Amino acid sequence: MKKHLETKLSHLQDFATIQDQYGASHFPIYNTGTFDLKKQDGEKIYDYTRSDNPTREALENLFTDVENGAGCVCTHTGIGAVSLLFETVLKANSEVLVEADCYGGTFRLLKVFQGKYNIKVHFADFLSEAELEKILKNNKIDLVLCESPTNPGLKIIDIGMVSVLAKKYNALFALDNSLATFISQRPLDMGADFSLFSTTKYISGHGSVVAGAIVAKTKELADELHYYANAHGRSQNPMDVFLISLGIPTLKIRMKEHQKSSIMIAEFLEKQSFIKAVMHPALKSHPQHKLATYQMDYIPGVFCAEFINKDFAEKFIENTKIFGEKCSFGSPDSRVEIPAKISHASFSKEELAAIGISDGTVRFSIGLENVEDLIEDIEQALK
């Protein structure tokens, strides 16, 4: 029987290698460090939780299935998934092609790899096919990496175009799918070799855990991920897997609400004199609006607004009562932040300016509150 995505997400236990004899509604938490080899007689043998664990394996099998991949590793943090990608694919003197508008943690990690392993990083505008091809043609690129939508600039990258170019020049292509999630788009189906995402955010949906995952298209790449995850200790603990499993069944319902409310708020902000621009892929004013609606089933509830100046932006955040000043996104509570101050503090002012982010840029992550309450909060914060 072929099952739809929502059905799969509601039955994690169906993806477990071993079945609970009592038919528990939630798959049991195997919160142990070790397993007794003498007491196992199944095809799958467990010995140490860093290497393998039944609880984590069920979630990895689920992610592998919904992403149409060959294998997955769940990591202890979202940036841990990016680290595992680098540890698996890169070596000393490797070259990486990265979208300039990338997550602050990824940017910082790239700087670490540059310094320690002499990795050469080429930053580029992935909206420009010509720019990408020029870099790929003139350099020996090992890995191409981007997000779509990007964070915080909300650019929509043509995933199919990038995958074709990467393959043409024998580079691996990894897409960070944290903002859209597999409920909206499936990068491996579009040609990517890896799909990675922070499960801290929309996947878990409740903001009580930090975690990540990376899914590989081929068994060979999946086996390498598992090897390096075990070698470097990147594996996620079973308790955090359980917390993530609680939020997964409601992902599609939540994404619909995040999308609906964020569009209403973005449209409201577009009409305000104190806002210079609003970057939300669902708005017709967005430069890649058509690509966004074609490439994604749902538009995430994250967008940016460019205030008239830094002081106005900071005062607005200070005055909000419902919106918290917090990093991250995808939680039930709405939040705002100035990327230059929090999530992208590792960027210089010049590097932020190059991707269209200023001290007056505010990133909104719209939660699940009543949208009228949120708009009222924005109105009072501006008085």
Q: How many residues are given for the chain?
A: 383
Per DSSP, the three-state class of 337 is strand
User: What are the domain boundaries of the chain?
Assistant: 5-249, 251-381
Per DSSP, the three-state class of 185 is coil
* Phi, psi dihedrals of residue 10, rounded to the nearest 5°: -90, 0
The pLDDT tens digits of the residues spanning 109-144 come to: 999 999 999 999 999 999 999 999 999 999 999 999
| Per-residue pLDDT, 247 | 96
pTM to 2 decimal places = 0.96
- Percent of the chain whose predicted confidence (pLDDT) is above 90: 89
The pLDDT tens digits of the residues spanning 40-93 come to: 987 789 999 999 999 999 999 999 999 999 999 999 999 999 999 999 999 999
Query: Terminal CA-to-CA distance of the chain, rounded, Å?
Result: 57
Work out the pLDDT band at 18, boundaries 50, 70, 90.
confident
The CATH code belonging to domain 5-249 is: 3.40.640.10
What is the number of other CB atoms lying within 10 angstroms of the CB of residue 107?
A: 18
Per DSSP, the three-state class of 126 is coil
Quick check: do 5-249 and 251-381 share a fold? Answer: no
Per DSSP, the three-state class of 113 is helix
Average pLDDT over residues 264-269: 98
Could you please state the CATH topology (level 3) that the domain comprising 251-381 is classified under: Aspartate Aminotransferase, domain 1 (3.90.1150)
Q: Could you check whether the bond before residue 339 is cis, i.e. omega within 30 degrees of 0? A: no
Rounded CA-CA distance 167/150 in Å is: 22
